[in-house]
Homo-oligomer: A and B are copies of this chain.
Amino acid sequence: MADETALFPIGTVSEQTGVNTVTLRAWERRHGLLKPHRTPKGHRLYSQQDVERVKQVLTLLEQGIPVSRIRDVLDSNKSRPMLLQPARDIQTDNPWRHYRALFQRWIRQLDARSLEHAFNEAVSLYSLELASQKLVLPFYRQLWEQQELLPSTAADYAFLHEFLCAKLGSRYLQHNSRANGKRLLIVNTAGHDGQVETLLLANILSHHGYQVSLLGAQTTLDHLPLILERASFDALVLPNSACIPSALSILVEISRLTVFLFGLQNEWTAEAPENLPIYWLPEELGEICAAIDQELAKAGVETCADKAGFPSTIQ
């Protein structure tokens, strides 16, 4: 269990990161890179976040950024979460090229550990939304296409898929355990191929504060009414695929839930029923939360006015 409250002594941090204890102290003394808590007697106590920071420092070092500048780099990114260019060297023009190269390398070598490093760094320097859109998803989809043609890349795809499921699953659980907002049910009716996209969505939403429940590929629309009786949700999120308009309409009418669809729009969806609370999520990942917030706020108002007296879930 990764307790947020857990604090580690310097030796443990050294083991976990591979940085000499002496060096850790030197970084702190010379550059203030870390400011661990102290015991009353002065022993350093590092939090899990400190450990993460050390790992970030390491990856920046690998890119040839001098230690003395790293603090500025890290702190300036912290204050402006989204868009600041990280260190200069990396990103002469396109920051993602750098990460693409890293991804390529670690995936070819099936090195999950290094791949995780690269992933963490990209996400922490930018954001999950941006990193996904610019790096992860294009890469993943490209491998998927290749894998169908070239058997030699099947392993790359299988490896990345497994990695992304693990990593995104991990973050989803972490965020979700702290989430306190409305309850969303995400159902991946798209099967294996939709797994990564679904997990990504779950990540974004739980990070934003929604309490997300995730259902895997064995569920179909038919099951949903039964499920919705058992637990109360504020909205339903579905992939476009395997959504039969009529079935969906009926579902919405019965459940009186707001439904969000994600993925590419296809024919029928252009003519989606207008009088039902069915919405398309924007393709831009960064806009998804705002879109849901907005519709749910509206729905929240309507609900009270419209169907006053009814419990928010169906009966």
User: Given contacts A6-B65, A64-B11, are A222 and B151 in contact (CB under 8 A)?
Assistant: yes
A162 and B215 form a contact (CB under 8 A)? yes
Contact with B along A173-191 (1 / 0, CB 8 A): 1101111000001001000
On chain A, the number of residues with a Cβ less than 8 Å from chain B's Cβ atoms is 80
What is the distance, in angstroms, from A238's C-beta to the closest C-beta of chain B?
Answer: 13
Beyond the given A7-B73, A112-B213, please list 12 additional residue pairs across the A-B interface where CB-CB is below 8 A: A3-B73, A3-B77, A5-B72, A7-B66, A8-B66, A110-B231, A151-B223, A158-B217, A159-B214, A165-B216, A166-B173, A192-B192
8 A Cβ contacts from A1-50 to B: 1-3, 5-9, 11-12, 15-16, 39, 43, 45
B159 and A213 form a contact (CB under 8 A)? yes
**29 A–B contacts from the bound complex (CB under 8 Å):** A1-B120, A2-B174, A3-B76, A5-B77, A8-B64, A9-B66, A12-B65, A45-B69, A108-B230, A109-B231, A110-B185, A110-B227, A110-B230, A111-B213, A111-B231, A112-B173, A112-B213, A116-B173, A152-B226, A154-B219, A154-B223, A155-B227, A157-B218, A158-B218, A159-B214, A162-B214, A165-B165, A166-B199, A169-B170
B147 and A218 form a contact (CB under 8 A)? yes
Contact residues of A with B, CB < 8 Å?
Answer: 1-3, 5-9, 11-12, 15-16, 39, 43, 45, 60, 63-66, 68-69, 72-73, 76-77, 108-113, 116, 120, 123-124, 147, 151-152, 154-155, 157-159, 161-163, 165-170, 172-174, 176-179, 185, 188, 192, 199, 211-220, 222-223, 226-227, 230-231
Q: Which residues of the partner chain B approach A179 to less than 8 Å between Cβ atoms? A: 113
CA distance A112 to B184 in the complex (A): 12
CA distance A123 to B2 in the complex (A): 13
Q: Which residues of the partner chain B approach A60 to less than 8 Å between Cβ atoms? A: 6
CA distance A200 to B122 in the complex (A): 28
Q: Which residues of the partner chain B approach A159 to less than 8 Å between Cβ atoms? A: 213-216
Q: Which residues of the partner chain B approach A177 to less than 8 Å between Cβ atoms? A: 113, 116
Q: Please, which residue of chain B has its CB at the minimum distance from the CB of A148?
A: B218
